[in-house]
A and B are shown apart, each in its own frame.
Chain A
Amino acid sequence: MIRFDNVSMRYPGGHEALSRVGFSMDRGEMAFLTGHSGAGKSTLLRLIMLMERASQGQVYVCDQNLNRMPVSQIPYLRRKIGVVFQNHQLLFDRTVFDNVALPLQISGYERDSMARRVRAALDKVGLLQKEKLNPLLLSTGEQQRVGLARAIVNKPQLLLADEPTGNLDPELSAEVMGLFRQFNQVGVTVLIASHDLDLISRMPYRRITLDKGRMSDAGE
């Protein structure tokens, strides 16, 4: 599903965020990406999303070589990937429903099947009652779950999360992690970047550890 071959990422200015990173993840696998802040976790996720291109090495996602992917194909790659951000990236000029519907609108669903899928996704994260509200009126935990609903509404093959529990208390964190496990159980490949080692250690999943841009433990 994901494979990094000797990938280095150097930002303009010379900072090397990743150096010679190699690992791979199977379809249907769930793993945590850990390391101190600044270890390169976010950069690695950005490479998978093609928000950046690797300066060296090859990145494969869904059997496609991202280095060779033309800019015009990037949107279609991203439609196969659901992403949850630490700061949710919700839009506050529309309702919860419209936020979750955005990926479907982009993919070109008709109104009826769109509404059905949005409600199914909101139901899964337990926010069906709040679909008409503005996300500003929700608590942090609820906002995070709206972001999660948006990430899975298009039934992606791959679910990425960047510090999804960063702003949540332990109870809410456990709840969100439970949701990720549920998605993984129906076959979605899940990769979660987190430095919440306490939480991770209580879950029986593979751990990929980065240290200052280098792979210190691929967890295989």
Chain B
Amino acid sequence: MPANSPQRGSPAAPKQRGRKQGASTQQPELGARGQSYLSHHREMAQVSLKRLLATPMATLMTLAVIAIALSLPSVFYVGLQNVGQLSDHWQGASQVSLFLSDQLSEEEGRDLALQLQSNSQIAELSYLSKDDAMAEFKQFAGFGRALDQLKQNPLPAVILAVPTQDYLSPDSLQALTQLLLSIDGVDDVRIDLAWVQRLQAMVLFGQRAVLLLAALLALGVVLVVGNTIRLEIQNRSDEIRVVKLVGGTDGFVRRPFLYTGLWYGLGAGLLAWLLVQLSVWYLGSIVDRLVVLYQSDFQLQGLGIGAALLLLLFAVILGSGGAWLAVLRHLREIEPR
């Protein structure tokens, strides 16, 4: 039977028994509805925030759990960014160190350096005499007194060579090493590159690991928020039932909880950002000392503004997402299929 088949005495024959015109369900105008929609959003945002602030300890604990889950991958991310930056820096200036034989006088050493200067594979060159090397070692290694006790200088003279950009590939560096080793008076040749490459491989591995960790912890955040909101839903199940019975849409029911999730996300995101900055600040002082020892101008970078905003956005999405899922589950339970 068609859905709109005429009913017995239905709208076709209204106003039976001389009644007044039937009242009809009136809908407010579109403009008023839009305004009311916006004001309901504003109201729910305020109400949900007030509810969270009404139980400060419980809210703070939930925020802390989410913030820790968010800050863990963020701290690792900051660490990797820094290591990556460091290894990029080193990759560009990978040095070849030629340790000279003690048989060579300082004069001969400088001559050798001059000869190598003409080699097209070498961009930059500097000579460090035994005394220079000693002076530098004393300054940075902190063995000043002990070194003064030595009768003779055990350090070899060094030529530091920086290969030109075109000869930075592992193969040509290998060839360069062989060439340099064959020179008389050169005891040993060391390239800083091998470990830089290893470091980079490890950084790549670390990035993947952080991604995996972040994904797992993001899921954790969704579950924590979802569970917290689920308890809130249970407390307000009467209200939800009544709202549904008088014609509330799923969106209307969802709104306050969505804002609760949003506030959790925003609060926890800010807290996580604070935790990351505190960690960077705490580690920064130690790194500064290391940096001096390594003669670098490296500075520990915190979470940049872009990454910080991304962290907040992510936190807000995860918070609202958890709330959305919790409400969806509850609505499924109370609606007919």
Chain A residues within 8 Å of B, Cβ to Cβ:
1, 3, 5, 24, 26-29, 49-53, 58, 60, 63-65, 68, 71-72, 74-80, 83, 89-91, 93, 102-103, 105-111, 113, 150, 154-157, 185-188
Q: Is the CB of B247 within 8 A of A53?
A: no
Contact code string B90-127 (vs A, CB < 8 Å = 1, else 0): 00000000000000000000000000000000000000
CB neighbours (8 Å) of A105 from chain B are 36, 40
| Complex CA distance for A92 and B141, rounded to whole angstroms | 74
Contact of A89 among B11, B37, B40, B241 (CB under 8 A): B241
| Complex CA distance for A147 and B28, rounded to whole angstroms | 22
Q: Is B313 interfacial (CB-CB < 8 Å)?
A: no
Q: Which residue of A lies closest to B6 (CB)?
A: A63
Q: Is the CB of B335 within 8 A of A157?
A: no
Contact of B247 among A76, A155, A185 (CB under 8 A): A76
Contact code string B223-246 (vs A, CB < 8 Å = 1, else 0): 000000000000000110111111
- In the complex, how many angstroms separate the beta carbon of A27 from the nearest chain B beta carbon? 6
Contacts A91-B239, A91-B242, A187-B19 given; indicate if A155 touches B336 (C-beta within 8 A): no
| Complex CA distance for A3 and B2, rounded to whole angstroms | 13
CB neighbours (8 Å) of A155 from chain B are 23-26
CB neighbours (8 Å) of B25 from chain A are 79-80, 154-157
Q: Is the CB of A187 within 8 A of B1?
A: no
CB neighbours (8 Å) of B183 from chain A are none
Q: Which of B8-39 contact A (CB under 8 A)?
A: 8-11, 13-17, 19-28, 32-37, 39
CB neighbours (8 Å) of B335 from chain A are 71, 74
- In the complex, how many angstroms separate the beta carbon of B32 from the nearest chain A beta carbon? 4
CB neighbours (8 Å) of B151 from chain A are none
CB neighbours (8 Å) of B23 from chain A are 155-157, 186-188
CB neighbours (8 Å) of B249 from chain A are 72, 75, 106
- In the complex, how many angstroms separate the beta carbon of B42 from the nearest chain A beta carbon? 12
Chain B residues within 8 Å of A, Cβ to Cβ:
1, 3-4, 7-11, 13-17, 19-28, 32-37, 39-40, 238-239, 241-250, 252, 335-337
Q: Is the CB of A79 within 8 A of B247?
A: yes
CB neighbours (8 Å) of A108 from chain B are 28, 32-34, 36-37, 40
By DSSP majority rule, is chain B's interface helix, strand, loop, or mixed? loop
Q: Is the CB of B248 within 8 A of A106?
A: yes
| Complex CA distance for A107 and B335, rounded to whole angstroms | 20
| Complex CA distance for A28 and B244, rounded to whole angstroms | 25
User: Can you list 9 A-B contacts with CB-CB less than 8 angstroms, sorted by A residue number?
Assistant: A53-B337, A60-B3, A64-B3, A89-B242, A102-B243, A105-B36, A110-B35, A111-B39, A185-B19
Q: Is the CB of A63 within 8 A of B10?
A: yes
Contact of A78 among B20, B21, B35, B246 (CB under 8 A): B246
Contacts A53-B337, A63-B4 given; indicate if A106 touches B246 (C-beta within 8 A): yes
CB neighbours (8 Å) of A72 from chain B are 249-250
CB neighbours (8 Å) of A91 from chain B are 238-239, 242
Q: Is the CB of B252 within 8 A of A106?
A: yes
Q: Is the CB of B28 within 8 A of A27?
A: no
Contact of B22 among A52, A103, A188 (CB under 8 A): A188
Q: Which residue of B lies closest to A158 (CB)?
A: B25
| Complex CA distance for A24 and B19, rounded to whole angstroms | 19
Contacts A157-B23, A185-B20, A187-B22 given; indicate if A63 touches B11 (C-beta within 8 A): yes
CB neighbours (8 Å) of B35 from chain A are 110
Q: Which residue of A lies closest to B11 (CB)?
A: A27
Contact of B14 among A27, A51, A74, A110 (CB under 8 A): A27
CB neighbours (8 Å) of A26 from chain B are 7-10, 13, 16
CB neighbours (8 Å) of A64 from chain B are 3
Contact of B245 among A52, A71, A83, A185 (CB under 8 A): A83
CB neighbours (8 Å) of A29 from chain B are 16
CB neighbours (8 Å) of B27 from chain A are 107
Q: Is the CB of B247 within 8 A of A107?
A: yes
- In the complex, how many angstroms separate the beta carbon of B326 from the nearest chain A beta carbon? 19
| Complex CA distance for A103 and B242, rounded to whole angstroms | 10
Q: Is the CB of B245 within 8 A of A89?
A: yes
Contact of B36 among A68, A76, A109 (CB under 8 A): A109
- In the complex, how many angstroms separate the beta carbon of B74 from the nearest chain A beta carbon? 39
- In the complex, how many angstroms separate the beta carbon of B36 from the nearest chain A beta carbon? 4
| Complex CA distance for A68 and B1, rounded to whole angstroms | 12
Contacts A27-B22, A80-B25, A109-B28 given; indicate if A93 touches B239 (C-beta within 8 A): yes
Q: Is the CB of A27 within 8 A of B10?
A: yes
Q: Is the CB of A113 within 8 A of B7?
A: no
CB neighbours (8 Å) of B337 from chain A are 53, 71
| Complex CA distance for A21 and B28, rounded to whole angstroms | 37
Q: Is the CB of A78 within 8 A of B245?
A: yes
| Complex CA distance for A129 and B41, rounded to whole angstroms | 30
Known pairs A74-B335, A75-B247 / 9 extra A-B pairs, C-beta < 8 Å = A26-B8, A26-B9, A49-B245, A72-B250, A78-B247, A83-B245, A109-B36, A154-B246, A185-B20
